[in-house]
Amino acid sequence: MEPARQKLDILCKDEVPRPVLYRRGDMPEHSCYPMHSHEWGEFLYSFCGAMEISMTGKRYLVLPHYGIWVPPGTIHQCVNNKRVQHCVIYIAWDFCIEFCMLPCSVQMSPLMQSMLHHLRDMSGFRSSDEQERFLHVLMDQLRNAPCIDSYLPTSSDEQLADLLQQLEKNPGDNRSVKELARSLGMTERTLARRCQKELGITLLEWRQRLRAIKALAMLEDGINVEQIALEFGYASSSAFIAMFKKLMGRTPAEFHPES
């Protein structure tokens, strides 16, 4: 049985006092920000841990190399299982015109990640005006960053949704796409077409993303790479490390608490 979630206060309830505002947050284990919306745009980024945002009938994951853009007026809720240290950048409505008006995952460049980590040290700025100028430069980076839909998309196709749920419950399932298609009573080509239409990516890539996300939580629990690779059915830990680094931009060791 899943433990009850601790409800947290929303970081910014009232009007944004500046065109761009930076806030830090800390979500304890099994907590949530309640369903809400506001008249300004919101960008979320995680320094440590992963959280899930539900909005417009989809779920978005805040990961170490992907932030989430929440357009003004979008009803959303944030939940997590492990502790999350994160930040939020609030952007006034007038400044959101050049941003995407649909929720999306924003791919973080090394520069953007470095800027956000610099913001975490508030003592680095001599005045709020200096910090605001810095935030406007970061806004320019956000406007031009590559965007995708949900990092781990879901499907409205009943058969495909059922298969994805099975894989989520058993990420170590190493059946080929052909075998998975056969289990649904369809050809490999038909399953591939449905995945491209519903998910926008191949089933193999979806499964790799799933494993990388699952691995993040396991690494935070102190489970070593060899054990994770074995559980996910990889022939060697090096093969798992290569996959993880390709998707997450960092090696598993960089997320391990003992590293």
pLDDT in tens, 64-81: 788 999 999 999 999 988
Report pLDDT for 259: 44
Query: Whole-number mean pLDDT of the chain?
Result: 88
Q: Is the pLDDT of residue 1 over 60?
A: no
Q: What is the pLDDT of residue 125?
A: 67
**Most confident segment among 56-60, 94-98, 177-181, 248-252:** 177-181
Prediction pTM value: 0.79
Rounded to the nearest 10°, the torsion over CA 233, 60, 251, 29 is -90
Residue 178 has pLDDT above 90, yes or no: yes
Question: Taking 60 as the threshold, does the pLDDT of residue 112 lie above it?
Answer: yes
pLDDT-derived band at 230, boundaries 50, 70, 90: very high
Residues of the chain with pLDDT > 70, as a percent, come to 95
User: Which region among 6-10, 93-97, 105-109, 253-257 has the lowest average model confidence (pLDDT)?
Assistant: 253-257
Q: Give me the pLDDT at residue 2, please.
A: 59
Q: Sorting pLDDT into bands at 50, 70 and 90, what band is 62?
A: confident
Nearest one of 224, 255, 257, 225 to 241, comparing CA atoms: 225
Residue with the larger pLDDT of the pair 48 and 169:
169
